[in-house]
Amino acid sequence: MWNREVETMRRRDMDALQLERLQRTVKRVYDTVPFYRARLDGAGITPDGVKSLNDLRRIPFTVKDDLRDHYPFGLFAAPMREIVRIHASSGTTGKPTTVGYTRADLDMWSECVARLVTMAGGGADDIAQIAFGYGLFTGAFGLHGGLEKIGASVIPMSSGNTEKQIMIMRDFMSTILVSTPSYAMYMSEALEEQGVKKSDLKLRIGLFGAEGSTEEMRRQLEHRWGITATENYGMSELVGPGVSGECTRKTGMHINEDCFIPEIINPETGETLEYGQTGELVITTVLKEGIPLLRYRTKDITRLIPEPCACGRTTMRMAKIQGRSDDMLIIRGVNVFPSQVESVLLGMAHISPHYQLVVSKSGYTDVLEVVVELEDDALLDSFGQLETLEKSIKHKLHVVLGLDAQVRLAEPKTIERSTGKAKRVIDLR
């Protein structure tokens, strides 16, 4: 373990630590951020009024629009001369959301990432190839800081240039790959095309994150690369990667609870749900100085697992993200997450792990078309086999989604590959 004291802390001690840090955070934002002072005054909360962790529930939520409304630096709780790094969200619409880090924030960030790398089995002997884009996106710099902290040899490849990734991976004997799961999948295809065998490589661990993936996707990645694949979670507003990560038991992502207090709420009513229930993840940062966030609504749908893990860590875990509440498609009144479609498709014979959901309207009716790519040309000449495959996919989708979807089989290598976060949904409505 990277930090045994924190990672195996008794619940009582963790609660006390969180409360003390929460009180300090509330005081900090009350004193320095006019937005928070007004919000807290409006809810009748003074910093002295936070007496227990239960008082957290009285604090109003913070949402992405609050960050946008105060773009770029309006929610910073530290003077600019103390801010030593600025990142921004990868959002594609409108203004990005900006995040400022003090020196202490950067230390906290790399500490959190060091823990998740260690729990995935990484250490000072590893050679880590970072295939996230360096830039305003937090993925590369975040993993970079944590990997350097544990003493791994870091290769700051950045994303893209897949052929070169593979050359470097082989020549530099990389043992850890850091990327999105979809890019790792794409790279594994390129590996085959370049005639490189996994036995030519020294890769042993995949640290995947920044987008969702199913257990089946993990199995395929582990098989294709001959690695242990773990997943980690975060978002730029909170810190970037480092909010939580899986240990080698792979039974949920351990949350760095000394820095982030998790809650699950009903996204419609805002009511706090019990552990184990599925809903929207809400996070309060309790150690950040640059831009602390109180009860930030992540829009990510998951559940919390409070039981200690078989690995010995006692920190709360979060289950795989089911999807984002704003990614959820409503098709003819039925809720559909792209991850449900992935769970159907991956693992079926003859199809590649690349797919897309195209949603359109025919008159007043929603139409869901699932574009599935064939693995190789072998089936293209056999109409009978294609038809059987299509029927079988349709049937499975119907069972899992509870609605009829159209299925289009696409020729091999025709669905666009991504070197970052994959775009799985095209909504034409």
Helix ranges (H only) for 172-318 are 181-193, 215-225
CB of 144 to ligand DLL, least distance (A): 11
CB of 200 to ligand DLL, least distance (A): 27
Q: What is the DSSP letter of 299?
A: E
One residue of 78, 169, 191, 321 binding ligand DLL per CB under 6 A:
321
One residue of 324, 350, 394, 413 binding ligand DLL per CB under 6 A:
324
Residue 62, both tokens = 């913070």
Q: Based on the number of CB atoms within 10 Å of its own CB, is 294 exposed (0-12), middle (13-18) or buried (19 or more)?
A: buried
CB of 291 to ligand DLL, least distance (A): 13
One residue of 96, 122, 206, 209 binding ligand DLL per CB under 6 A:
209
CB of 219 to ligand DLL, least distance (A): 16
Task: Tell me which residues in 78-107 interact with ligand DLL (CB under 6 A).
Answer: 89-90
One residue of 212, 252, 279, 353 binding ligand DLL per CB under 6 A:
212
Query: Measured from the CB atom, is 98 or 352 closer to ligand DLL?
Result: 98
Q: Which of 91, 180, 188, 92 is nearest to 143 (CA)?
A: 180
Strand partners, 155: 129
Is residue 122 at the binding interface for ligand DLL, with CB under 6 A as the rule?
A: no
CB of 413 to ligand DLL, least distance (A): 26
Query: Measured from the CB atom, is 209 or 252 closer to ligand DLL?
Result: 209
Is residue 234 at the binding interface for ligand DLL, with CB under 6 A as the rule?
A: yes
One residue of 96, 100, 122, 139 binding ligand DLL per CB under 6 A:
139
One residue of 7, 231, 257, 263 binding ligand DLL per CB under 6 A:
231
Q: Based on the number of CB atoms within 10 Å of its own CB, is 171 exposed (0-12), middle (13-18) or buried (19 or more)?
A: exposed
Residue 376, both tokens = 């190789």
CA 369/CA 240 separation, integer angstroms: 33
Residue located via tokens 């993936």: 213
CA 330/CA 337 separation, integer angstroms: 9
Site string for ligand DLL, 334-353 (x = CB under 6 A): --------------------
Query: Measured from the CB atom, is 326 or 381 closer to ligand DLL?
Result: 326
Q: Which of 413, 405, 346 is nearest to 373 (CA)?
A: 413
Query: Measured from the CB atom, is 240 or 374 closer to ligand DLL?
Result: 240
Query: Measured from the CB atom, is 14 or 229 closer to ligand DLL?
Result: 229
Alpha carbon of 131 to those of 134, 181, 210, 352: distances in Å? 9, 11, 12, 22
Alpha carbon of 428 to those of 319, 334, 370: distances in Å? 31, 17, 13
Q: Please count the residues of the chain.
A: 429
Is residue 240 at the binding interface for ligand DLL, with CB under 6 A as the rule?
A: yes
Residue 375, both tokens = 């693995």
CA 214/CA 321 separation, integer angstroms: 9
CB of 248 to ligand DLL, least distance (A): 16
Q: Which residue is nearest to ligand DLL (CB)?
A: 209
Half-sphere exposure of 321 (CA within 13 A, CB side): 26
Q: What are phi and psi of 247, to 5 degrees?
A: -90, 180
CB of 403 to ligand DLL, least distance (A): 24
Strand partners, 425: 357
Is residue 232 at the binding interface for ligand DLL, with CB under 6 A as the rule?
A: yes
Query: Measured from the CB atom, is 89 or 188 closer to ligand DLL?
Result: 89
Binding site for ligand DLL (CB under 6 A): 89-90, 137-139, 209-212, 231-236, 240-241, 298, 300, 321, 324
